[in-house]
Structure 1
Amino acid sequence: MKRTKIALTGLALLTAGVIALSGCSSSGGNQGDNGKTGGTSSSAIIKVNGSEPENPLIPTNTNEVGGGKILDSIFAGLAYYDGKGKLVNDMAESITVDDPSNVTIKIKKGEKFTNGQELTADSFIKAWQYGALFSNKQLNSSWFADIEGFDPAKDSQLTGLTKVDDYTFKVKLNSPVAADWAQRLGYSAYYPLPDVAFDDMKSFGEHPIGNGPYKLASDSAWQHDVQIDLVKNDGYTGSRQVKNGGLTIKFYTTQDAAYADLQAGNVDVIDAIPPSAFATFESDLGDRAVNQPAAIFQSFTMPGNLAHFTGEEGTLRKEAISMAINRDQITKTIFNGTRTPASDFTSPVISGWSDSIPGNEVLKYDPAKAKELWAQADAISKWSGTFQIAYNADGGHKEWVDAVSNSIKNALGIDASGKSYVDFATLRQDVNDRKIKTAFRTGWQADYPSQYNFLQPLYGTKASSNDSDYSNTEFDSLLAQGASASDPAAATADYAKAQEILFKDLPAIPLWYSNVTGGFAEGVKNVTFGWNSVPLYYEITKG
């Protein structure tokens, strides 16, 4: 982390498991060409899997993977993350950490949106002001919380944004977290917007105009619940130069359907293998199979006001539930080694990860201890009913939810089961509206490579993805302290102490870390899966 006035050139935080396959698989690869030689077509359309976005495609209101894949393709921010997680300047000429609370940003001159409008400092300032404004109810509003003037409870301007000239602006933060904050600038919440967006934001979200390596193929490119068609944006001058003609992102309701299409040659690259194929996909696809670590954490969460799961009783029950789950057995039998039992709340591919944080013994399978804790909770208030875990049926979750439920049932002697929602959007609607009355599956695919990103957005007070409404002032203080530390080792120590609190409170029950499992079709080349499990689409070729 940098404190002095030095231009930020990127912090490579990954220490292991870097996913730069370039066509390789877990068993070794051959540049993704299946042994064939010959040229490729720069005009080829690459077909990939995806999911229907939860909301219109507005950067400050998209915090799920389906919409994020599209936004990252059609927009270019100040910077982006390469396959190894390194921050690389994109639209920024420089990002300079002046001191722990101040950052200066210079924009490259001559960059344009696809409607011809020039990209300027205002393109970022106006977009960020919109995203932070309370009345706009943007899901990513908390990403602006560290900027001076942010108020989560009422409309207020980000007074910390100061335009210097058409291509330069300064950011004043309300706490000394500039080093970590600058590392976040590759995330989509910080993308710029053209002026036309503010005329009718809802309409813009249906027909977004970006400045990235791709653009929408036409006004009707987004066929809801079917696919979205993107083509190469020849006006993009950043480092993510497109080597194909475009993308067709097909929206699948099941992972089985996507895998069947891959086997039939109807899709070129997929980044999710269905549980039904975990045992066979590597032998089926050979050198075209992908099974590599990624920055993905899986859990399930209880609503903050769920009956029997608050106060002392709730603490006992959450510990009991956690210790009733046989993670080792489930990751072996259900996932065939494509998951690793969790030992913390982050990911092994992120710098600072540890498997020995005090309190993480609650993640060890101990049915006798679990039953003892459950009995202690019953002494406070007798349990009745069924413990349920809600999940979306279109995401390949039924098998593990059933296995976890059976493990809990067998260990505690209670009724436990899954509760199926038809799709991800429907589940998230109930979660976002705080209408859900059961535990529900949760997970995190990192936005930028930092432990802070696994902790603050999910468990920070009033954070954007804090689905349980968890709040602990000591935890918040440790996160802030870690984010402001000039020494990475000191930051890691603060984050470890913060996780000790999480292990006591258990706002979520950690389950396992996910590998990215995927594959690509014959004739497809230059396939690189990034640190966060998403393919680098612009590098893919075929022909």
Structure 2
Amino acid sequence: MTFKSWGTRLAAALLASATLVSVAACGSSSTSDNSAKADPNAIISVNNTEPESPLVPADTNEMGGSRIIRYLFEGLVSFDARGKQHMEVAKSITANPEATQYTIKLNDGWKFTNGEPVTAQSFAKAWSYAANVKHAEKQSSRMSVIKGYDELQKPGAADDAQLSGLQVPDDHTLIVTLNSPDSVFPTQISHQSFFPLPSVAYKDMKTFGKNPIGNGPYKFKSWTPNKNITVVKNPDYKGYRKVKNGGIEYRVYSSPDAAYSDVESGSLDLLMDVPQSEVKTFRTDSTIHAYSRPGSYYQGFIIPEWAQHFGFNKEGILRRQAISMAIDRGQIVDKVFSNTKTVATDFTSPGVPEHQKNLKGTANLKHNAAKAKELWKQADAISPYNEKFSLAYPSDGGHKPWVDAVCNQLKNTLGIQAVGDAYPTFSDLLNRVTDRTIQTPFFSGWSLDYPSAEDYMTPLYASESADGHGSNDGDYKNPEFDQALLKAKSQLDPAKRTADFNAAQEILLNDLPAIPLWCNNVSAVSSPKLKNVDFDYTNLPTYNTITK
């Protein structure tokens, strides 16, 4: 099986759900006015959050850093705004019949911005470094599909040990042997954790991350903490994502309202997250261009397995289902968000071809106050609940209105004390989640990395991604789910793979390790002077296409 034919089928399935809708106050799209010649050297200013850590691809799992990393580096493959696959550093990717080994041939001529050639070893060493437990990289579990990962997770592994499943016969060939069949692997390697690194990175990874050297469409220029990060066009970039501007300035905002005001005044070019205070009016604001379409950014909240009364036993699962059914998602999406969200019907999003609306267990995501009360009463018969239900969230992201709405619904339906627990910043909350000191349910969000249901399942719910090895922040572990997921990944036939993903999802819909709420639509605004503004299947702007 070659990757090109597989990727074409996937792209076709995505087209129906990835059509962009642009809504402009003056009745025109931002791409329609091309009377003024674009300045190819213009720097485009966009909103962002301060990255939690240095810009190291496999050590970043939050959007403030990922938005930048995705444009500083290029991988073996990429997916464009519509979900169509493009070969980048890879010339070809060929699987054996069992999908347990892939032979990857590399294109010649790719270089890092310091002039070092990008070779097969640039990938093999980066992947091995990420897999090594001694380096404690946040995306380490992404490498668990490769043979030798378990050995590198042992404390005694050498600092420079390499994954045994990687062979580099020459500079342009990388042979990857997996632990088990994985038909999604050619898609997974578009994720940033699989980006290559130059040899200088290994001298001091943290220092490198503060002044990263990549091979992507942009190159790093400067970083002023809590103010901005600027990247400029990489003239030597060889890939699909051609740059039409001079660079991107990622400005740090703690308040989305301040960012919106800056777009209105013309001092900020693009805001990708419309603040709650503007969701009712942004589509008719005559001072800006507005963009709206269904999206893939998942939001919900995690009830960690160690939260009292919410373990994965009979009582805990009854309570999880009751909590979920007590929430009227449609009402909140309408009243709080003015329909700029899409109500969750499963654990994925409309951005993937495997998205489902009628699985066994979908009823657990539908509002049913009577059933919620009944389940809560059954759980109380096992062990009475006299706690305060606190829902933690970052106060710098405009989350308070929906958290208050959810808590009011829980209070009114279940008769419990439910309150929001605001943390000053996203980083403050993430630190408590990362070190597992948080004891309450907490907000969770996930931006799609590549167009497959697997990207929601493995990172967020697989046992291998728990205990700090990935983004399974509630430490959910269910061997039955792991086996169902493994079966789906081993299927080469897309229809059978989807059926097996559905079976895995039905386990999640019963257990509810997280409570899915909705998926964010693209809800963005820009200055009218911007042209060629587009958004990809992950809800992010295609920064390289924007001009002014």
Q: Secondary structure at the match of 1:16?
A: helix
Counterpart selection for 1:398 from 397, 400, 403: 400
Map of 1:65-144 to 2, 5 A cutoff? 65-99=63-97, 100-144=99-143
C-alpha distance 407-241 of structure 1, shift in aligned 2 (>3 A): same
1:235 & 1:28 partners in 2: Cα distance? 39
Comparing 478-487 with 88-97, greater Cα deviation is found at: 88-97
Who is 1:171 aligned against? Answer: 176
- Tell me how far 1:97 sits from its aligned partner: 2.2
- Tell me how far 1:381 sits from its aligned partner: 1.3
Q: Assess if the C-alpha contact under 8 Å between 2:25 and 2:286 holds in 1.
A: no
2:7 & 2:348 partners in 1: Cα distance? 25
- Tell me how far 1:453 sits from its aligned partner: 1.0
Quick one: which amino acid aligns to residue 529 of structure 2? Answer: G
- Tell me how far 1:193 sits from its aligned partner: 0.5
Q: Does 1:384 find its partner at 2:386?
A: yes
Q: Secondary structure at the match of 1:129?
A: helix
Quick one: which amino acid aligns to residue 436 of structure 1? Answer: I
Q: Secondary structure at the match of 2:444?
A: strand
1:98 & 1:111 partners in 2: Cα distance? 27
1:286 & 1:119 partners in 2: Cα distance? 45
Q: Assess if the C-alpha contact under 8 Å between 2:3 and 2:93 holds in 1.
A: no
1:360 & 1:28 partners in 2: Cα distance? 40
Map of 1:296-311 to 2, 5 A cutoff? 296-310=297-311, 311=313
- Tell me how far 1:469 sits from its aligned partner: 0.7
- Tell me how far 1:385 sits from its aligned partner: 2.5
2:528 & 2:304 partners in 1: Cα distance? 45
Counterpart selection for 1:356 from 338, 349, 358: 358
Provide the alpha-carbon RMSD of the alignment.
1.8
- Tell me how far 1:500 sits from its aligned partner: 1.1
Quick one: which amino acid aligns to residue 266 of structure 2? Answer: G
1:512 & 1:16 partners in 2: Cα distance? 20
Quick one: which amino acid aligns to residue 352 of structure 2? Answer: I
Who is 2:197 aligned against? Answer: 193
Q: Does 1:205 find its partner at 2:209?
A: yes
* Identity within the alignment, %: 44
- Tell me how far 1:119 sits from its aligned partner: 1.1
Q: Does 1:538 find its partner at 2:544?
A: yes
Quick one: which amino acid aligns to residue 133 of structure 2? Answer: F
- Tell me how far 1:512 sits from its aligned partner: 1.1
Q: Assess if the C-alpha contact under 8 Å between 1:31 and 1:526 holds in 2.
A: no
1:29 & 1:480 partners in 2: Cα distance? 48
Who is 1:47 aligned against? Answer: 45
- Tell me how far 1:26 sits from its aligned partner: 7.5
CA deviation map 1:209-253 (0-9, x unaligned):
111111112xxx111111101111111121211110111010111
C-alpha distance 56-5 of structure 1, shift in aligned 2 (>3 A): closer
- Tell me how far 1:15 sits from its aligned partner: 4.5
Comparing 93-102 with 434-443, greater Cα deviation is found at: 93-102
Who is 1:25 aligned against? Answer: 23
Q: Assess if the C-alpha contact under 8 Å between 1:16 and 1:349 holds in 2.
A: no
1:530 & 1:260 partners in 2: Cα distance? 25
Q: Assess if the C-alpha contact under 8 Å between 2:15 and 2:82 holds in 1.
A: no
Counterpart selection for 2:323 from 317, 321, 324: 321
Who is 2:14 aligned against? Answer: 14
Who is 1:312 aligned against? Answer: 314
Comparing 397-406 with 12-21, greater Cα deviation is found at: 12-21
1:153 & 1:465 partners in 2: Cα distance? 20
Q: Assess if the C-alpha contact under 8 Å between 2:263 and 2:288 holds in 1.
A: no
> What TM-score, normalized by structure 2, do the two folds share?
0.94
Q: Secondary structure at the match of 1:454?
A: helix
Q: Assess if the C-alpha contact under 8 Å between 1:301 and 1:440 holds in 2.
A: yes
- Tell me how far 1:27 sits from its aligned partner: 8.3
Q: Assess if the C-alpha contact under 8 Å between 1:431 and 1:467 holds in 2.
A: yes
- Tell me how far 1:334 sits from its aligned partner: 0.4
Q: Does 1:289 find its partner at 2:312?
A: no
Q: Assess if the C-alpha contact under 8 Å between 1:389 and 1:417 holds in 2.
A: yes
Who is 2:280 aligned against? Answer: 279
- Tell me how far 1:301 sits from its aligned partner: 0.5
Aligned residues: 534
Who is 1:496 aligned against? Answer: 502
Q: Assess if the C-alpha contact under 8 Å between 2:360 and 2:506 holds in 1.
A: yes
Q: Assess if the C-alpha contact under 8 Å between 1:85 and 1:449 holds in 2.
A: yes
1:9 & 1:18 partners in 2: Cα distance? 16
Q: Assess if the C-alpha contact under 8 Å between 2:23 and 2:29 holds in 1.
A: no
- Tell me how far 1:347 sits from its aligned partner: 0.8
- Tell me how far 1:254 sits from its aligned partner: 1.7
C-alpha distance 326-71 of structure 1, shift in aligned 2 (>3 A): same
Structure 1 residue ranges without an equivalent (≥5): none
Q: Secondary structure at the match of 1:119?
A: coil
Q: Secondary structure at the match of 1:419?
A: strand
Q: Assess if the C-alpha contact under 8 Å between 1:303 and 1:439 holds in 2.
A: yes
> What TM-score, normalized by structure 1, do the two folds share?
0.95
